[in-house]
Each structure stands twice: as structure tokens, then as C-alpha cells.
Amino acid sequence: MVITYCSTPEELFRVAADMIIAEAQAAMRRNGFVTLTLSGGSTPKGLYSLLAGTDALLWERVHLLWGDERVVASDSIDSNYRMANESLISHVAIPETNVHRVKTELGAEESAADYEATIRALYGTDTPTLDVVLLGVGPDGHTASLFPGQPQLESDKLVTATPPATREPRVERITMTFRLLNRASLVIFLVSGEEKVPIVGSILSHEQEANAYPASRVKPDGRLVWAVYPSPFEP
């Protein structure tokens, strides 16, 4: 595990963007394409804007996935797709067929099954290894839409639906599971916010209480990187 403590949000986004670009270029050399799994919430907006301005990625060979999505319309203010579209997708020449939006209009269960099938087909296998996965952490230690104490934490699916979340927006969610997330080549936790310092500090210190936080259960076969602002260990 690599931990990068950043002094500013701009440094946080720059560090993550550089890692994404390097891994994406390696994946494109390896497989001819790269999947970039996007995180939702608000922190990643600055990173997506930075990526939108780079010419280091061959967007026609980048496939976008989402680690989770709220079961709302794709133009809803709560949609993770909408946030990514406004900050990234609408600014780059990525083919529409490379943007794998979660089809929330199918409803929770059906869109989860549809999304799992999309990922299996993209890799042509039932055991896909995602290339680059971005995740965030909530103040309760959730990641993607894997919330503390949920039965979905133990799902053996690759993508699962969840009941209305225990945090805003309190709607049903679609989320990648640990089974899929932990097969990734590179997972980057992009974390910002004072309110997360205790949680991140606990996870990175491998404290016993951290076991209750879903984010602590992301242990990918590949590399795990935490990019954090501010540092949980600075005075």
C-alpha cells in the first residue's frame, strides 16, 4: 500500500491524475484498451476536470465504468454519471460506446445485473480484472455504495443492488462488490475532507475498529494507493 499525503486539493488531484495516466498507458500497451472506474460524490470533480485537460490519454481506447451509482435519472443532480459527464465526458473525445453508464432506468436489481453483464462482456470473462479503480471514503467508512453492516458487503456477485442508502441521497444504489474491486490492477482512494481524518487515520493505522469500515476491506490483487488531503497524522 502506498500512502501519499497531499498539502492541497490541487496536489491531491495532480498525484491521482499522474498515477491514472501512467497505469492507463501501461494497460493500453498490455491490452489495447484501459478501463477507468470512476468514483462518485464530490471530491473527484477536480480530478476529472484535470483529466479532461490532459492529452496524455487516448480517449478512444479508454472505457469508463462506475464503481457505484445512485438509482436516479442520469440527468439528476444526484447522478454520479451526470457529475462525470459535466466534469469530464463532455470535454473529451471519448466514443459514446466507451462510456458504460449504469442503466438506472431499468430499476435497481435489473440495472445491477445488466452492469455485471456489461463488465463481463467488456473483458470477455466471468472473472474480469479492472485496470484503474477510483474510490472515495465516506465519513462512516463506506466506499462505493458499500455501507457498514450491509449484507451486500458479503455478496458473491460482481455488481449488486442495495436498499436505500443510510446517507444522502437516501436512494437505492448499484455498487461494485469487494469481489470485483479486489481484483483490480490499481485502486486509488481519493480522499479529502477534515471529517474523514479519523476514519482514514484508523484504516491506515490498521486499528481494530477499522474492520467495521467497508473501505478497509478493499485489498486489491494489484496495487492500492491512498491519496489523502489533509494528512490524518499532521497536527
Positions in the binding site for ligand 6PG (CB under 6 A): 39-43, 68, 80, 136-138, 142-145, 193
CB 81 within 8 A of CB 74: yes
Residue closer to ligand 6PG, measured from CB, 55 or 101: 101
Q: Write the CA distances from 34 to 133, 159, 175, integer angstroms.
A: 11, 19, 20
CB atoms within 10 A of CB 226: 21
> What is the nearest approach in angstroms of ligand 6PG to the Cβ of residue 39?
5
For ligand 6PG, the closer of residues 30 and 139 by Cβ is 139
CB of 25 or CB of 49, closer to ligand 6PG: 49
Output the smallest distance, CB 122 to ligand 6PG, in A.
20
DSSP string, 171-225: S-EEEE-HHHHTT-SEEEEEEE-GGGHHHHHHHHTT-GGGGGSGGGG---SSEEE
Residue 5 pairs with which residues in a beta bridge?
228
Report the residue count for the chain.
235
Of 10 and 60, the one with the shorter C-beta distance to ligand 6PG is 10
At 226, give phi and psi (nearest 5°): -110, 120
State the minimum distance, in angstroms, from the CB of residue 100 to ligand 6PG.
16
Closest separation in Å from C-beta 196 to ligand 6PG:
7
Please identify the residue of the shown chain whose CB is closest to the bound ligand 6PG: 136
Min dist CB 163 to ligand 6PG, Å, is: 15
Name which of 85 and 143 has its Cβ closer to ligand 6PG: 143
